[in-house]
């Protein structure tokens, strides 16, 4: 086996195309868009390069690619005495020796850069993309930019020595199934206050909602473990990226008088569209995307990206009222038959309770692992504050 750094265009093509060969015949795997994978590794399209660096490798034997991996770091990622880097975009045949060589290469590169711990499989960038090792839910299609994987990956990581840092739960729901009585009770409690009101995003007033989103997100989420404060510029970029596919009727905001206090942000699940383009968003791919999205309306699944209530309004039933306010539109007037909530870490007990009140079922579980290079240092699981 020969492991080599990805440097040429040919190497990059091998890195991307290996997954197609590995998952050939898997009816649930959906090929990611080639450009989405490539853009992770370009400074002009990935802001993580401002504070970090990445390298990629492929393993070959007799001209056949057997595996791939990327290693990366972002500065100022100290966890106690640990300087933590990461590895991701791992794909490999079912062979521990091959996997170990990939992991060793990533580890040695991080050691050279001054790091002494490695999380994986994670993303060189946002946590809502390419994050975690799938351990349950192989019979469910992956969402857009969500890790899929082989059912033996868990064993490859754990046999090498990776230890569980936290679990990621993805919940599923048929949109027309009932909501819980508990949720209705909470909603009724909030609705006794006439100052609460609920509304959908309006594209012609996007700046207002981006500002409201940023405020709610930082108040509700930035105190959670590992969640950085969101800059307004980042929020504007996010909404700019998803604007072409936004469905105003599934982006809901809660207000107390005019003060933004909560949101439930969903988007159409674009892998239900992109599975028809085989990774290529060229002219033909764009025509197919338009056809399946706008004409055939092939997308029957929506993804709940993020849900949040600011601390001062938690415990007042606002979460239930927000969901109930969206119920009539989502359940009765739209084409979506399925809702899949973006993954929730197992340490976020409050968010898990909200999800359960929506009468969801657990569909997928991913693991985020950590590997401390000094094997005497134990990995401490992340728990709720």
User: Whole-angstrom Cα distance, residue 319 to residue 355?
Assistant: 10
For 217-247, write each residue's pLDDT tens digit.
999 876 666 667 888 998 998 888 888 888 8
Tokens of 259: 């003060």
Whether residues 56 and 182 fall in one domain: no
Region 294-309: mean pLDDT is 86
Whether residues 148 and 212 fall in one domain: no
- At residue 156, does pLDDT exceed 90? yes
Whether residues 180 and 300 fall in one domain: yes
In a domain, 216, yes or no: yes
What CATH number is associated with residue 200? 3.40.630
In a domain, 93, yes or no: yes
Residue 142: name the closest of 29, 7, 296 by CA: 29
Whether residues 66 and 192 fall in one domain: no
Whether residues 152 and 188 fall in one domain: no
- At residue 124, does pLDDT exceed 70? yes
Domain that includes residue 224, residue range: 176-336
For 95-108, write each residue's pLDDT tens digit.
999 999 999 999 99
Whether residues 110 and 180 fall in one domain: no
Least confident range from 18-27, 137-146, 312-321: namely: 312-321
Task: State pTM to two decimals.
Answer: 0.88
Residue 55's pLDDT band (cuts 50, 70, 90): very high
What CATH number is associated with residue 116? 3.40.630.30
Question: Tokens 């038959």 appear where?
Answer: 337
Residue 49's pLDDT band (cuts 50, 70, 90): very high
Whether residues 182 and 163 fall in one domain: no
- At residue 115, does pLDDT exceed 70? yes
- At residue 34, does pLDDT exceed 70? yes
Whether residues 215 and 98 fall in one domain: no
Whether residues 144 and 194 fall in one domain: no
In a domain, 36, yes or no: yes
Query: Chain-wide mean pLDDT for the chain?
Result: 91
User: Whole-angstrom Cα distance, residue 105 to residue 122?
Assistant: 16
For 6-33, write each residue's pLDDT tens digit.
999 999 999 999 999 999 999 999 999 9
- At residue 257, does pLDDT exceed 70? yes
pLDDT score, position 222: 67
For 347-367, write each residue's pLDDT tens digit.
988 888 878 877 889 999 999
Question: Tokens 């970090």 appear where?
Answer: 52
Tokens of 72: 């990366």
In a domain, 326, yes or no: yes
Region 338-347: mean pLDDT is 91
In a domain, 129, yes or no: yes
pLDDT score, position 43: 95
Whether residues 150 and 186 fall in one domain: no
In a domain, 377, yes or no: no
Tokens of 75: 């500065």
Of the chain, the percentage scoring pLDDT greater than 90 comes to 64
Q: How many residues in total does the chain contain?
A: 385
Whether residues 183 and 154 fall in one domain: no
Whether residues 270 and 199 fall in one domain: yes
More confident residue, 278 or 163: 163
pLDDT score, position 225: 62
- Domains contained in the chain, number: 2
In a domain, 310, yes or no: yes
In a domain, 362, yes or no: no
Tokens of 181: 């009585």
pLDDT score, position 350: 80
């Amino acid at each position: 086996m020969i492991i080599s750094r990805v440097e040429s265009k040919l190497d990059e093509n091998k890195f991307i195309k290996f997954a197609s060969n590995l998952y050939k015949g898997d009816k649930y795997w959906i090929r990611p868009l080639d450009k989405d994978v490539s853009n992770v590794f370009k400074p002009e399209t990935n802001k993580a390069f401002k504070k970090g660096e990445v390298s990629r490798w492929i393993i070959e034997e007799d001209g056949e690619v057997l595996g791939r991996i990327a290693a990366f770091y972002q500065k100022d990622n100290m966890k106690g005495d640990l300087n933590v880097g990461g590895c991701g975009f791992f794909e490999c045949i079912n062979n521990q020796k091959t996997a170990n060589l990939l992991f060793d290469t990533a580890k040695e590169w991080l050691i050279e850069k001054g790091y002494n711990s490695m999380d994986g499989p994670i993303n060189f960038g946002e946590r809502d993309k390419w994050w975690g090792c799938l351990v349950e839910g192989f019979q469910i299609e992956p969402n857009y930019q969500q890790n899929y994987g082989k059912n033996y990956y868990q064993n490859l990581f754990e046999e090498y020595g990776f230890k569980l840092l936290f679990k990621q739960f993805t919940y599923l729901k048929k949109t027309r199934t009932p909501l819980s009585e508990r949720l209705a009770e909470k909603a009724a409690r909030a609705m006794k206050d006439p100052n609460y009101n609920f509304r959908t995003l309006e594209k012609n007033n996007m700046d207002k909602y981006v500002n409201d989103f940023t405020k709610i997100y930082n108040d509700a989420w930035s105190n959670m473990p590992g969640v950085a404060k969101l800059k307004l510029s980042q929020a504007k970029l996010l909404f700019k990226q998803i604007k072409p596919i936004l469905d105003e009727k599934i982006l809901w905001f809660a207000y107390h008088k005019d003060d933004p206090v909560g949101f439930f942000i969903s988007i159409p699940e674009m892998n239900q569209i992109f599975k028809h383009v085989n990774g290529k968003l060229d002219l033909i791919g764009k025509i197919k995307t338009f056809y399946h999205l706008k004409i055939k309306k092939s997308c029957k699944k929506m993804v709940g990206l993020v849900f949040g209530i600011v601390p001062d309004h938690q415990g007042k039933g606002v979460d239930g009222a927000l969901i109930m306010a969206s119920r009539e539109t989502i359940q009765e007037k739209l084409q979506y038959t399925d809702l899949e909530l973006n993954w929730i870490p197992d340490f976020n007990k409050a968010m898990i309770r909200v999800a359960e009140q929506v009468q969801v079922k657990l569909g997928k579980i991913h693991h985020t692992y950590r590997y401390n290079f000094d094997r005497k240092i134990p990995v401490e699981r992340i728990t709720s504050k």
